[in-house]
């Protein structure tokens, strides 16, 4: 095991915060992405469909999971996977059974699957 690199003399008196390398490499949602996700989440909570959520920041993807109850498996997972950016798109919505419902390059378009369709009455 190697020793950590020495602290420069100017920084010895002040506290120096170091983050592990793995934390820097994790994929995460930015502020705008979280705003769009929480707008949908808020509407679903008000309608009584969703009650809880979890956010996971992994090395290769970020996952926002929504639950009907905290003790259950997630109903949906909203996944950000940058490795798929040039192919199917960075964002995906996946059901509890693993079915990919929607995939795309823009989060706003992917989240549209949660909007209720308008019904025309004759």
H helices present in the chain, as ranges: 21-25, 31-46, 107-110
Number of compact structural domains in the chain: 1
The pLDDT tens digits of the residues spanning 12-64 come to: 445 555 545 455 578 889 999 999 999 999 999 998 899 999 999 989 999 99
57, 42 Cβ separation under 8 angstroms: no
SS3 117: coil
| Residue 16 domain flag | no
pLDDT at 67 > cutoff 50: yes
User: Roughly how many angstroms between the first and final C-alpha of the chain, as a whole number?
Assistant: 74
The pLDDT tens digits of the residues spanning 3-13 come to: 555 545 444 44
| Residue 108 domain flag | yes
| Residue 100 domain flag | yes
The span from the CA of 18 to the CA of 84, in Å, is 30
Q: pTM higher than 0.75, yes or no?
A: no
pLDDT at 65 > cutoff 90: yes
Q: Which domain holds residue 55?
A: 22-113
Query: What's the confidence (pLDDT) of residue 4?
Result: 52
């Amino acid at each position: 095991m190697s020793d950590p690199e020495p602290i420069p003399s100017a920084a010895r008196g002040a506290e120096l915060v170091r983050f592990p390398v793995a934390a820097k490499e994790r994929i995460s949602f930015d502020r705008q992405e979280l705003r769009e996700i929480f707008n949908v989440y808020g509407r679903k909570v008000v309608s009584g469909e969703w009650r809880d959520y979890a956010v996971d920041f992994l090395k290769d993807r970020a996952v926002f999971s929504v639950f009907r109850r905290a003790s259950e498996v997630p109903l949906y997972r909203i996944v950000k996977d940058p490795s798929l950016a040039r192919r199917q798109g960075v964002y995906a919505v996946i059901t509890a059974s693993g079915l990919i419902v929607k995939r795309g390059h823009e989060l706003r378009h992917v989240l549209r699957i949660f909007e209720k369709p308008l019904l025309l009455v004759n």
